[in-house]
Amino acid sequence: MLDKIKKDFNTMTWVLIPVAIAINVVMGEIVVQLKLPVYLDSIGTVLVGALCGPWAGALTGTLSNIIWGLAIDPNAFPWWPVAFFIGYMSGRMANWGFFKSWWKVVVTGFVVALTAAIVSTPISVYLYGGITASGSSFITAYLLQTGQGILSAVLSTGFLVEPVDKITTSMLAFAIVQGLSTRFLARFPRPENVSTEKGGKTELFIAVAVVVVLVLFAAFMLRNILGG
């Protein structure tokens, strides 16, 4: 176990993590400034997960969340386990070979999203009674009004909101990896995780199409919910 954790960490990992956290924080802030309907505050976390492994990803996520909580939004604090698992899961998926082509990265994003939704549910329910300080709580509130149980209302909200964000995040992290030289990537603990398989343009289009469909689906559901 300890050896497995240690494998994630070489000097490149230790130097990458601060940069990755800064990418998380700064991207998250820019997205808020540009008023985009996603968070994109875990690109760095997913990047570390993919290049270095699950434990390095988990550490990056956790520290990012703590710093975000201290410096930007105190309400982010209690959610560090979610950030932990986003990093862990993206690393796990990359170890399993799901960070090598566009469609696999979409799968990774989806799995990470489900993980985030599942991990955040107990925090939301037990700490906040389902209603948090996030905008998506309006959806939860609505679902509760329609008579759904608290667990299912929170979980459905998570399933609705997370995939778009986490798939976009994973794809951006993958795009960054594509832009880095193999020689540079080779210094990290797990370069084999990101050795790209041939797939090319069509796959990218399919991946983008999947995201667009998901966005439309989420928008449609939201309209139904808020309009109904």
Partner 1 sequence: MAIVTLQNVTYKYPLTEAPVLQNVNLQVNEGEFVAVIGPNGAGKSTLCYTLAGFVPHFFKGELTGIVEVAGVETHQSSLNEWVLNVGLAFQNPFNQISGAKYTVFEEIAFGLENIGVPRGEMKPRVEKALALTGISDLADRSPYSLSGGQQQRVALTSILVMEPKVLVLDEPTSQMDPIGTREVFGVIRTMAERGMTVVLAEHKVEWIAAFADRVVALKDGQVLLDGKPGEVLTSPLLEEAGFGISRYTSTARKAKEMGLWKKDQLPVTLEEAVEGFRS
Partner 2 sequence: MHERLSFYVHRDSPLHRLNPLTKLTMVFAFILLSFGSPWYWTPHILIVLVILPLSFIGRVQREYLLTAARLIFPAAGFLFLMQSLFQPIGQTVWFRWWVLEVTHEAVAFAFVNAARIIVMVSSFTLLLLTTHPSELMSDLTRRGLPSQFAYVIISTLQIIPQMQAKAQTIIAAQRSRGLDTQSSFVKRVGALVPLVGPLVFGSLVEVEERAIAIEARGFTSSHAKTSLREIPDSRFDQILRGALIVSVLLAFVSRLWLS
Q: What are the residues binding partner 2 (CB under 8 A)?
A: 9, 11-12, 14-19, 21-23, 25-27, 29-31, 33-36, 43, 59, 63, 67, 69-75, 77-78, 127-133, 137-138, 140-141, 144-145, 150, 172, 176, 179-180, 184, 187
| Position 201 contacts partner 1 (CB under 8 A) | no
Q: What is the 3-state secondary structure (H, E, C) of 9-55?
A: CCHHHHHHHHHHHHHHHHHHHHHHHCCCCCCCCCHHHHHHHHHHCHH
Residue 182 interaction partner, one of partner 2, partner 1, none, beta carbon < 5-8 Å per kind: partner 1
Residue 167 interaction partner, one of partner 2, partner 1, none, beta carbon < 5-8 Å per kind: none
Residue 180 interaction partner, one of partner 1, partner 2, none, beta carbon < 5-8 Å per kind: partner 2
| Position 187 contacts partner 1 (CB under 8 A) | yes
Nearer to partner 1 among residue 183 and residue 198 (C-beta): 183
Among 1, 2, 135, 183, binds partner 1 (CB under 8 A): 183
Question: What CA–CA distances, in Å, run from 130 to 28, 124, 146, 152, 217?
Answer: 24, 5, 15, 10, 23
Among 152, 178, 182, 202, binds partner 1 (CB under 8 A): 182
Nearer to partner 2 among residue 102 and residue 115 (C-beta): 102
Least CB distance from residue 192 to partner 1, whole Å? 13
Residue 178 interaction partner, one of partner 2, partner 1, none, beta carbon < 5-8 Å per kind: none
Q: Are 218 and 166 in contact (CB under 8 A)?
A: no
d(CA 26, CA 2): 32
d(CA 61, CA 44): 8
Closest by CA position to 104, among listed 212, 207, 210: 207
Among 4, 6, 18, 133, binds partner 1 (CB under 8 A): 18
Least CB distance from residue 31 to partner 2, whole Å? 8
Q: How many residues of this chain interact with partner 1, rule: CB under 8 A? A: 5
Sites of contact with partner 1 (CB under 8 A): 18, 182-183, 186-187
